[in-house]
Structure 1
Amino acid sequence: MISWAAAFRLRQYAKASLWIVPLFGLLLGAVLAECAAALDGADWLPYDGQYSATTASSVLSSVVGAMVALLGFVVTIGVLVVQQATGTLSPRYMRLWYRDRLQKAVLATFTGTFAFAYTLLRSIESDSVPDLGVTLAGVAVAVSLLLLLVYLNRFTHNLRPVAIADLVGGMGAKVLIHGAAKVRGSAARGGEPLLPAGPVAHMRSERGGVLQAIDVAGLMAAATRHDCVFVMVHPVGDFVAPGMTLVEVHGGRTSELDPRRVTGHVALGAERTIEQDPAFALRILVDIAIRALSPAVNDPTTAVQVLNHIEAFLHTIGRVGLRGRYVLADDHGRPRLVVPGRTWEEYLQVGVTEIREYGATSLQICRRLRALLDGLLETLSAEHLPAVRMELEFLEEAVESQFTDPRRHAMARTADPQGIGGGQRPEAAPPG
């Protein structure tokens, strides 16, 4: 029986693959061509158009050649996307680009139309022409061209850094809110000890990789069945070396547990995913911003635009109510699974630290970062404010060291939501 982790990896591979959906399109096109040839000439069909054998052969041959050319064109666009993403955006974004459904639909339509026309070619005889199929091949070409235009329009607009930032930020916020809703109200009863006394069993990983996802339902069911508590050692997103402990087992009948079945509920892979790791979305946003700040690009305005989405994401994180770890309980309120989480301080550090370090010499970045932090001070609850004040202190130190001229120093200390040219804000007063 295939484990949950293996099934998860297969789903990830299928989502990232660029050949599986086109393969289905290829097979479907061949099947539809056979159906069209079989139905041709049926009395109940309203269609009665006719083609000569020469015309039908020429049309279908042209369709086959056109689909091959269009497939090559889309592959060329894909190569350009890879070059741009790895050079000016973030290599981590490629994982999301591979999964785009429109791109797979375009490739599937092209391969399906190719297979449809190629299969019909062998049905053409001097006295028998698949008239319905030839007409449908023309319709398929029209649909293919329309999808190609939609594809070009989408990627022309969506390859801009700000569009990618909006997409990635929205995905991260969705995962964060969904995950918070899933664990809300599942804490163990306060009167019971969190971890049972007794020996602790260590379930170790056989292969190394990044912890991509956890089968919470499966681990909870196994812990309930064996009357124990599973403690995840690493949060989602950490790299786990071969032989390291993945899960600690406290209490219960640990001798009856199969380590492979337990670790089979934890998926390891080559790189991080957003499915259970919203911090990865923040990581991609920061990567795009610091690439824009590199001397080779020198585009602080793009970094300011990305900071807009980072600020929105941080406000969402601040409202969710994060904990350093999550204790999930069964239906009787007994703790069964402990999962480490990321705190607000960790998210904030990811969101602003590198941008501050690489953009400390830019007036735009300093002013935009101050506006971001001042906005967090105004809206977040009291328990989040010490970390924000600490980041403001770090920003003040960076401004002091980089801007020695009094006038430029005063400009760098001014909060501006547009970096330069926006409505300047006075320094935020301490809450309370």
Structure 2
Amino acid sequence: MPQARTNPDGSTGAHPSKRESVTVRREWRRMLRHIRPTTMWGLPFRLLIIAVVVGLLTPFVDRGLANVFAPYPDLDSGSVASLLGIISGAMVTLAGLAFTALTTAMSLGITSMSVRLAPLLQSDRVVQWALGSFVATFAYSLLIALSIALGEDSYKPWTGTLAAVAVTLACAVMFFAFVVRVCQLLNSGVLLRQLTRDGWRATRYSPRRFHTDAVAVSQRSVPDGHRVRRQRPDASGDALLAVNTARLLDFEDAWGVTIELVPKVGDPVPVGTLLFRTSIALDPKQVEKLEKAVAFGDMQSAATGPFGAIRTISDIALKALSPAVNDPSRAVQALDQLEVILIRLSPLVAEQERELAGHPEDSVLRDWTRSWEEYVAAAVDEIRQFGTTSVQIQRRLRAFLTALSEVCPPSQQTALSERMAVLDRGTDRWWTDPFDRRLAVVADPEGIGGAELN
């Protein structure tokens, strides 16, 4: 039998079934894991623990094999100890070289491209495997050498020696992979393409699936309610990325409370600022549960989706256009990838607009969803403003907007035509020489060359 309860409006009724299904809860956890920054020490530390455990167990394996396959092949323990010492020293040196190369690459990348390069290097799996394998091999070889020093004279570490040699050879391959990977991430073209891929990969974790019944938590007003402020800092960031509305409504049913979500999706919510208003006071455990029903992160990270990828790529373009760097060709590369993202986004945003047009909660969901105008503005406006002194950027922007206008539906043309008009109005103001004006008005996908003057 359903239990009677007092609703937030004072009426009584049956306790409804839970809205947050097991599937929704599982998808929510997957999204949280995805947007959480990958720590640099997690994988290397696990590899180190595995190496220590294996290093402690290997002597027992050797002794067991010696009993099974007696007589066990002879082996000079002194020579093996020397070999393991060489391996341990080489691995420490290799780890130091890798760390030095990594920090140098971060410094150069941040200076010449963007601060966004540092998280990419930190979270890259090849980099983590390389550092972890070097340190783990050092620890393993050290433990095997220690087992030889502490063991009896009859101890023959065949298994430990062969394993140490094998992982050392693997580390040599990993070192090459590490060098190649760092060089790739310092290549602006490769880096920009990876950011584009990361942004599209993040669409699998779109928060839109959790925003059912959005009007129920956003268009309420509890002006005199109890204020619930954000309590816990989050390493992912402070921007409100997603709201588990089903969980919030379940809390309302269970606690007999009305919950008002104060910020909109996309707003920054630092610790200590207002997050909810509730019709009754909540205890600390309930407040903690409320905070777990929303997700925070870095809105300008490619891990959050195409908009984050656009912002990251735009940052790289702006860095390239700064007087300190002055590399418009890299900004053109950035525009190449921004064009790819917007062309792929166009049908998705158009479909989203059609869905919202007939949705009873369209006014709320529009506030929680990026519009086509926002995507175009994030991709174009700052680069257009910073690139007013570069003919290369002007030509590439014209080709950019022209290509988009050819594939976008009529509902998306206004955002493009307005920016093309800005370029037209600025031509006489930015370029005083007639020849420069002729160059600037040509739509050229390469920025310079490859297009005839009209």
Q: Distance in 1 between matches of 2:443 and 2:70?
A: 70
Q: Which residue of 1 aligns with 2:179?
A: 152
**How far did 1:171 drift?**
1.3
**How far did 1:197 drift?**
7.5
Q: How does 1:53-68 map to 2 (within 5 A)?
A: 53-68=77-92
Q: Which residue of 1 aligns with 2:307?
A: 279
- Structure-2-length-normalised TM-score: 0.78
Aligned-partner residue type, residue 21 of structure 1:
L
- Structure-1-length-normalised TM-score: 0.81
Residue 204 (structure 1) aligned with residue 229 (structure 2): yes
**How far did 1:421 drift?**
1.8
1:38–1:378 distance in 2 versus 1, CA, 3 Å: same
**How far did 1:126 drift?**
3.4
Residues 195-227 of structure 1, C-alpha deviation per residue, up to 9 Å, x if partnerless? 468767454324676225435264454356568
Given candidates 102, 109, 115, the residue that maps to 2:139 is: 115
* Percent identity of paired positions between Structure 1 and Structure 2: 26
Residue 303 (structure 1) aligned with residue 325 (structure 2): no
Residues 170-214 of structure 1, C-alpha deviation per residue, up to 9 Å, x if partnerless? 211232465287369x5789xx99946876745432467622543
Q: Distance in 1 between matches of 2:175 and 2:114?
A: 25
Given candidates 98, 108, 117, the residue that maps to 1:84 is: 108
Contact 1:205 1:243 in 2 (8 A): yes
Q: Distance in 1 between matches of 2:208 and 2:450?
A: 37
Aligned-partner residue type, residue 170 of structure 1:
R
Given candidates 72, 81, 86, the residue that maps to 2:96 is: 72
Q: Which residue of 2 aligns with 1:330?
A: none
Residues 360-403 of structure 1, C-alpha deviation per residue, up to 9 Å, x if partnerless? 11111100000000111111111111111111122223322111
Q: Which residue of 2 aligns with 1:407?
A: 435
What is the count of residue pairs matched by the alignment?
407
Larger helix percent: 2
Q: Distance in 2 between matches of 1:10 and 1:214?
A: 10
Residue 28 (structure 1) aligned with residue 50 (structure 2): yes
Q: How does 1:334-349 map to 2 (within 5 A)?
A: 340-349=368-377
1:48–1:293 distance in 2 versus 1, CA, 3 Å: farther
**How far did 1:348 drift?**
1.0
- Structure 1 residue ranges without an equivalent (≥5): 328-332, 427-432
Q: Which residue of 2 aligns with 1:172?
A: 199
Q: Which piece of structure 1 moves more, 278-287 or 64-73?
A: 278-287
1:176–1:45 distance in 2 versus 1, CA, 3 Å: farther
Aligned-partner residue type, residue 140 of structure 1:
V
Given candidates 121, 133, 157, the residue that maps to 1:130 is: 157
Please tell me the root mean square deviation across aligned C-alpha atoms, in Å.
3.7
- Structure 2 residue ranges without an equivalent (≥5): 1-25
Contact 2:218 2:261 in 1 (8 A): no
Residues 75-118 of structure 1, C-alpha deviation per residue, up to 9 Å, x if partnerless? 00111121122101111232222111111111221122111111
Residues 228-285 of structure 1, C-alpha deviation per residue, up to 9 Å, x if partnerless? 675462333x432454333466xxx766684443223234468854443542221110
Q: Distance in 1 between matches of 2:181 and 2:139?
A: 26
Q: SS at the partner of 1:246?
A: strand
Q: Distance in 2 between matches of 1:379 and 1:403?
A: 30
Q: Distance in 2 between matches of 1:200 and 1:425?
A: 66
Aligned-partner residue type, residue 310 of structure 1:
L
Q: Which residue of 2 aligns with 1:104?
A: 128
1:196–1:22 distance in 2 versus 1, CA, 3 Å: closer
Q: Which piece of structure 1 moves more, 155-164 or 221-230?
A: 221-230
